[in-house]
Chains A and B, each alone.
Chain A
Amino acid sequence: MAEKLQQFESPDTAGKAAQAIEAYQQTTDDLVGEKLTLNMGPSHPATHGVLRLILELDGEVITKADPDIGFLHRGDEKIAENMHYNQFVPYTDRLDYLAPLANNVAYACAVEKLMGWELPPRGKAVRVLCCELARISAHLLGIGCYAMDVGAMTVFLYTFTQRETVYNLCEQISGARFTTSYTRVGGQIHDITPEIISGVEKFCEEVSEAIDEVDDLLSRNKIFLDRTRDVGVISREDAIGYGLTGPNLRATGVEFDMRKNHPYLGYEELDFDIPVGKTGDSYDRYLVRMEEMRQSVDILQQICRQMPDGPINIVDPKGTLPEKERVLMSMEELIHHFIVATQGIDAPEGEVYFGAENPKGELGFYINSKGGGVPHRLKIRSPSFANLSILPKMLPGHMVSDVVVILGSLDFVMGECDR
């Protein structure tokens, strides 16, 4: 892969203007201007959920931004301490609710790391398929909403048409369109069928066309370029300092992707590139997401071509539920089934952290176990939370219209941020 790590001076004109205003204020005793406090959210069309921004405006220019989060806090981490490992899977659906399959996979992988289990090849391939489907779905929505915030409503509906296909595939895979809960510790609830593989292959072709269509509508559109270029610039240092991950980090030029840097689920055997941006502005974040979707389509095609045969779950009688027929026929399996279902998996003592490259960034699960079927402590490292933390630094100096562009380009999900 070409060397793309290069330091550019950030062309953050808006930020510099804000600094100039601030410097001018310090030189004079006069009241430079009365500020207007604008409350954006928690229910506002551009905040995609329940983010609340308290903006201080000087005219249309923002001088201070104070994000207020927590409107969707459900206490997922505390809930996890009171239930078996497998019972927590449905709660992961509701983290990044635009890519529930990827959350399921990340959580299952984290617990498997604690257990020290390794999935058979087919199980891994199925999970990669789930992850990449979820990534395409989430990026489609991200770009659609982004375009809608800029004013191009039609793009949003084009991408939504494709997401509909993803939902149909989710339904075929897991039985549910939205809250999939597909994975369990040690495998999946059931295997995927050949129809799903052919469905994914068909989807790959369709979505490629849709991506090209969006590309035609936006990538060289003068208005879109004017709105997004040099808006919401994040420097490399800031991005690393604030703990940004995912496309937002890569748009600044940092080539960091959990799938390449800490490979899991056999990503090291797949052939794909990690797109990185140059300036870290909103336009770069858009381009990175577009290219990531294309790479994901590529990964899906590779997976579909070489889907291995064999079991999809690990074989550990004390860890996973045995086949129903054998539960009914033999004593041993009945006992295992009873114990796994009522007391949970007997996890060893210890602590693990597993981070997966989710559509929004690195979704990490830290599990502290004191043995037994429930975690002693479970911490979710949610990418949206870290990505939003940069807002107070980034927003001042921009205009009100830029806020929606920046929010759209950061592509956050409040379900994950507030947990």
Chain B
Amino acid sequence: MIELSELLVPAIKIVVLVFAVILPMVAYSVWAERRVSAIIQDRVGPNRVGIPFTKIGLAGLGQPISDGIKFLLKEDFTPGHVNKLYFWLAPALTMVPAILTCAVLPFGSELFGEKMVVADLNVGPLFIFAIASLSVYGIVLAGWSSNSKYPFLGGIRSSSQMISYEISLGLSLVPVLLIFGELNLSAIVEEQSENGWLLLPLWGEGAIWNGGWDRFFLFFPSLLAFIIFTTSIFAETNRLPFDLPECETELVAGYHTEYSSMKFALFFLGEYAAMIIGSGLIVTLFLGGWSLPFGCDAALMQMAGNPEQVPWWLGLIHISTFLVKVVGFIIFFIWVRWTLPRFRYDQLMKLGWIVFFELALLNIFITAGIIFLTRSPD
């Protein structure tokens, strides 16, 4: 007999996470993109839309809502020459995997005794890769079913790009998993909370003065893994400098040239959702997820008294810490996009296969060697 609470609690988590956190974040990261790019480019950006029928502007915070309404009201045009089934399927196939992957991301410690993760899987990273690699189908199908040349070229590019970079993405993650000896993302975050973030091993057992020499030597492989992983996330989410499937000035709009209205918006939202999940994954693996730095978590827990139960205010602090870190990464993503030119198709493949693939592979052996030498088998 399944208890009702076992079904209800995850359902509430899913609904709240997807509709109250991820989707608004997607909408507002579009707004952030437009505002930050405007700041970078000496422009103003969308700053008018606020509360309707009043003069309250709220620095343009109403823009995502009006954008959404605009997308819904536009004519949803399906060109006559497309393959209808796949044409309709493709936008969903980009959006759904992007949202599915957030199931295993721990976005907070505990709130009222509930772990702040939808599915506390023991194979978190594997699940993310398995689902994320589905999103390439959306783009390939969009390019193919459009039956038009520019989307077709965009589809070809994206399939090879995303598949190539998935390899370096996966390989660059292996050292991290070796270091933690763990595949559960919540456990990884807890470990980092106690013993120092992977890229900031300055407290707990990770600090040198506490005998964390292994973490000191492992810092450099982790940094390399971080760089490869972040770059590959850029390629996975099709953002500049790797936005070849879209490639505005070459392929007009790439794979979604023939799309309009909400179907186009789904591609758009899927891209931003993927960016948010990617940032979340980077934060979780390398920067301690929801944890506060310098052992503050342990200190605050002591202050609260009960060592078993995380108090609600600390839970909220953890959730906001996670969100702040993710937002920081989103701004980094935006910053890069508006600074760099884009690669050419062959250069991108060369970079993926000749530089990142080899480096990631080498990194695994270096990490394994360091772990073998510094950690006594127990």
Residues of chain A having any CB pair with chain B under 8 Å: 36, 38-39, 44-46, 60, 147-154, 157-158, 161, 217-218, 221, 223-224, 226-227, 399-404
Contact = CB atoms under 8 A, between A and B. Distances in A.
A147 B343 CA distance: 13
Given A223-B341, A404-B249, 11 more contacts: A36-B149, A60-B153, A148-B249, A151-B240, A151-B243, A151-B249, A153-B41, A154-B37, A154-B338, A399-B344, A400-B345
Nearest to A225: B341
Interface string B305-336: 00000000000000000000000000000000
A147 B342 CA distance: 10
A154 B41 contact: yes
Contact of B340 (A152, A158, A402): A152
Contact of B341 (A152, A399, A403): A152
B264 to A, nearest CB: 17
Nearest to B152: A36
Contact of B252 (A44, A217, A218, A226): A44
Nearest to B247: A401
Given A151-B340, A157-B43, A400-B153, A223 B248 contact: no
A7 to B, nearest CB: 28
Contacts of A226: 343-344, 347
12 contacts: A38-B150, A38-B153, A150-B341, A151-B341, A152-B341, A153-B37, A153-B41, A153-B338, A154-B37, A217-B339, A400-B251, A401-B344
Interface in B37-59: 37, 40-43
A399 B346 contact: yes
A45 B341 contact: no
Contacts of B41: 153-154, 157-158
Contacts of A227: 341-344, 347
A136 B188 CA distance: 56
B241 A399 contact: no
A306 B52 CA distance: 58
Nearest to A157: B41
A402 B43 contact: no
B76 interface: no
Give the size category of B's interface with A.
Answer: 20 to 34
B358 interface: no
Interface of chain A: mostly helix, strand, loop or mixed: helix
Interface string B247-276: 111111000000000000000000000000
A39 B150 CA distance: 9
A157 B41 CA distance: 6
Contacts of A36: 149
Interface of B: 37, 40-43, 149-150, 153, 240-241, 243-244, 247-252, 338-347
A403 B250 contact: yes
B31 to A, nearest CB: 18
A418 to B, nearest CB: 22
Contacts of B43: 157
A222 B342 CA distance: 10
Contacts of B153: 38, 60, 400
B338 to A, nearest CB: 5
A149 to B, nearest CB: 5
A228 to B, nearest CB: 9
B341 A224 contact: yes
B80 to A, nearest CB: 19
Listed residue (B248, B249, B340, B342) with the most chain A CB atoms within 10 angstroms of its CB? B249
Given A399-B346, A400-B153, A400-B250, A147 B341 contact: yes
Contacts of B341: 147, 150-152, 218, 221, 223-224, 227
B234 to A, nearest CB: 12
A218 B344 CA distance: 16
Contacts of B342: 150-151, 223, 227
Contact of B343 (A218, A223, A402): A223
Nearest to B41: A157
B344 A402 contact: yes
Contacts of A399: 344-346
A46 B249 CA distance: 5
Nearest to B156: A60
Contacts of A158: 41-42
A18 to B, nearest CB: 14
B64 to A, nearest CB: 21
Contacts of B339: 152, 154, 217
Contact of B42 (A148, A157, A221, A400): A157
A218 B339 CA distance: 10
A400 B342 CA distance: 14
Contacts of B37: 153-154
A39 B251 CA distance: 11
A388 to B, nearest CB: 18
Contacts of A44: 252
Q: List 9 A-B pairs, minimum CB-CB distance, nearest first.
A: A151-B342, A157-B41, A151-B341, A150-B341, A152-B341, A401-B344, A149-B249, A46-B249, A223-B341
Contacts of A46: 249-250
A45 B40 CA distance: 22
A143 to B, nearest CB: 13
Contacts of A401: 244, 247, 250, 344-345
A49 B150 CA distance: 19
